[in-house]
Amino acid sequence: MAEKLQTISEIRHLLITMFTGSRSPGEAGAMATLIISEYTGTDGARQLAYGDRTVSPAGSALIMSAAERAASGEPLQYIFGHTLFCGHRIGVGPGVLIPRPETEEMTSVVIAENPGFKGIALDLCTGSGCIAVSLAAAFPGAEVHATDFSEKALETAARNAASNNVEVLLFRADILTAPAASFPLCDIIISNPPYVRLSEKALMLTNVLDHEPHEALFVGDDDPLIFYRSIASIASGRLRQNGKLYLEINEALGEDTAGIFIKNGFTGVTVTDDINGRKRFLKATKNG
């Protein structure tokens, strides 16, 4: 007897039931939509309009496997193996930080504020390479360098550059210890370094704590701005005159972070809000 095929509506209802309890009804529905879309190519509107359409046994199996993993707390980006960032498909996996909307917002600001940029950009702590790939795509006349301490991150960034048909000059460096001279002279520095204090772990979601690399997220409470002091040192030596600096920061430490760059002689040091009204970005200019 042939196996009964399930409809999109039936599968959707089953997934929402799986997620309800640990998530709000809205989140449960959104997750069901994303998973079904990933494995059937049917977006949310069509899932509702054509819910009576059936899904192949193979498709159903993929959907249920993904749903079970998601229900256990594994991030959808790791389950799918990719995410979207500034319109680009960025591969991600365990050991590499999942790009955040705030980082995408900061990257979009860099692109909007520097139309036609043809200089040299440097992405510190590149992770998946999402920032560097987006800059290389937006500025085809520019030279984009990116660095990370993690070999796994650099391998992922290299694959993402290749899959998005852009050139990013990747190299391994620990920005806390590498001499400034090991970084290229550049016109823009952008970075999303680790900045979450260990004491703030309790505020983070379990799926982040259980799955994403802690070394890309956390810093000790005794010296939470350690990466920003290193960035200031690198930028002081390698950012050209009138070069621009863009950083993602801890919203609770904006004034202290700005103080580091003011002390190092940067001008126009400003801390700005993200779209949620949180002080998450720092901009500065190198003069002299």
Instruction: Give the pLDDT confidence of 198-230 residue by residue, as tens digits.
Output: 899 877 777 777 778 888 888 899 999 999 999
pLDDT: which is higher, 56 or 2: 56
CB atoms within 10 A of CB 156: 24
Average pLDDT of span 251-277:
96
Q: Would the pLDDT of 3 be above 70?
A: no
Q: Give which of 30, 40, 29, 38 is closest to 6, Cα–Cα.
A: 40
Average pLDDT score, the chain: 94
Q: Report the percent of the chain where pLDDT is more than 70.
A: 98
Q: What pLDDT shows up at residue 253?
A: 96
Domains of the chain, by residue range, sit at 6-72, 82-285
- Most distant CA atoms of the chain, gap in Å: 79
More confident residue, 267 or 213: 267
CA angle 122, 124, 127 (to 5 degrees): 120
Pick the CATH number of 82-285 from 1.20.120.1780, 3.40.640.10, 3.40.50.150, 3.40.190.10: 3.40.50.150
Query: What value does the mean pLDDT take over residues 48-62?
Result: 94
The pLDDT tens digits of the residues spanning 230-243 come to 999 999 999 999 99
Model confidence pTM above 0.85: yes
The architecture CATH gives domain 6-72: Orthogonal Bundle (1.10)
Nearest residue to 147 (alpha-carbon basis) of 179, 177, 170: 170
The amino acid that residue 103 corresponds to is T
pLDDT at 210: 77
pLDDT at residue 38 is higher than 70:
yes
pLDDT at 1: 36
Mean pLDDT of 28-51: 94
pLDDT, residue 261, reads 97
Q: Give the confidence band of 2 by pLDDT, cuts at 50, 70, 90.
A: very low
HEC per residue, the chain = CCCCCEEHHHHHHHHHHHHECCECHHHHHHHHHHHHHHHHCCCHHHHHHCCCCEECHHHHHHHHHHHHHHHCCCCHHHHHCEEEECCEEEECCCCCCCCCHHHHHHHHHHHHHCCCCCCEEEEECCCCCHHHHHHHHHCCCCEEEEEECCHHHHHHHHHHHHHCCCCCEEEECCCCCCCHHHCCCEEEEEECCCCEEHHHHHHCCHHHHHHCCHHHCEECCCCCCHHHHHHHHHHHHHEEEEEEEEEECCHHHHHHHHHHHHHCCCEEEEEEECCCCCEEEEEEECCC
